[in-house]
Amino acid sequence: MNDGFTVSIVGLGLMGGSLALALRQANKDSDPLPFHAYRIIGVARSAETLAAAQAAGAVEATTTDLAEGIAEADIIVLATPVRTILRLLPEVGRYAKPGALVLDLGSTKAQICQAMANLPEHLQPVGGHPMCGKETSGFTAADADLFRGRPFVLCPLPRTSSAALDLARSLACAAGARPVILDPAVHDRAVAAISHLPYVAAVALVHAAADDPVAWSLVSSGFRDTTRVAVCDVDMMLDILLTNREAVLVWLDAFAGQLAGLRAALDIGDEPGLRAQLAAARAWRADLTL
């Protein structure tokens, strides 16, 4: 038993803000947990965001200064877009205290884990990615229940101690998530298939339909849902695509192959072949429970 951990969350948008709210909620419910309190320091560029987070009771202290914000932290959580995380890591290495866990919430993991390998040896890096989100962003979209029941991918480095990994696991559990340990490259390939490819497909669907004014005037709930992710923050998505380029290209090619197969079956009127493919997709998708 100890009297808790100081957690510095850098970036208080949807993910960082939701983590802060979830940990504050865990503090209230924490009697049976191994750690009875997380003290949360919010670090962000915008004073307005910090004020909103403090007003919502998400953080106990705030600062716009990274060095000051992480100096006392047992756990540093980087919750900015991916390329900002890559830029911040050297600074984190300079100002974090020895033994601190350095965790991130970025949507791609290979480049981040590679950069984490350059952190000073006295720090404990773990790549992280909670598998949840919304198309909205910013602290105003944050939600204490965002992580509840969702997989929270953790990518320890070879040098990461088991105590540090346990700490990351506890934090994920305290936020209500299910920790899943994965290799960074395996993670990046998987999320390219289920998140980055669907995003690119949604963008392309919007471009195709927006060219036809009659089509656009008739759009219904099917189009709305299929293209919902196209409103995701552009900076965040650019960072994701550009730091997971190879996996996204592989899945774009696989997707183009699937589409070409469906096109060919439709073109020649191969009804049994088309039926088999539609029925298989229907059965798989109907099995998803989310």
Chain residues 145-204 in contact with a copy of itself, contact rule CB under 8 A: 150-151, 153, 180, 182, 186-187, 189-191, 193-195, 197-204
110 touches a copy of itself by CB under 8 A: no
Number of chain positions touching a copy of itself (CB under 8 A): 89
> Shortest Cβ distance from residue 111 to a copy of itself (Å)?
14
- Tell me whether strands 38-43 and 61-63 are parallel, antiparallel or unpaired: parallel
Q: Which of residues 242-261 bind a copy of itself (CB under 8 A)?
A: 242, 245, 248-249, 251-256, 258-260
Applying CB under 8 A, the span of 40-48, 72-80, 90-98, 222-230 interacting with a copy of itself comes to 222-230
Quick one: which of 13, 72, 241, 243 contacts a copy of itself (CB under 8 A)?
A: 241
Q: Do 154 and 179 form a contact (C-beta atoms < 8 A)?
A: yes
Binding-residue pattern over the window 23 to 42 for a copy of itself, x denoting contact by CB under 8 A: --------------------
Question: Does residue 120 sit in helix, strand or coil?
Answer: coil
> Shortest Cβ distance from residue 212 to a copy of itself (Å)?
5
281 touches a copy of itself by CB under 8 A: yes
65 touches a copy of itself by CB under 8 A: no
Quick one: which of 32, 98, 158, 222 contacts a copy of itself (CB under 8 A)?
A: 222
282 touches a copy of itself by CB under 8 A: yes
Query: Side chain identity at 237, as an amino acid letter?
Result: M
Give alpha helix (H) positions in the chain: 14-28, 47-55, 66-70, 82-95, 110-116, 162-174, 184-191, 197-210, 213-218, 221-226, 234-243, 245-267, 271-287
Residue whose CB is less far from a copy of itself, 4 or 273? 273
47 touches a copy of itself by CB under 8 A: no
Alpha carbons 171 and 181: distance in angstroms, whole number: 14
* Core vs surface per residue 142-180: b (16+ CB within 10 A) or e: bebebbeebbbbbbbbeebeeebbebbbbbbbbbbbbbe
> Shortest Cβ distance from residue 98 to a copy of itself (Å)?
34
Return the ∠ at Cα 247 (arms to 244 and 252), rounded to 5°: 115
> Shortest Cβ distance from residue 195 to a copy of itself (Å)?
6
Cα atoms in the Cβ-side hemisphere of radius 13 Å centred on 24: 22
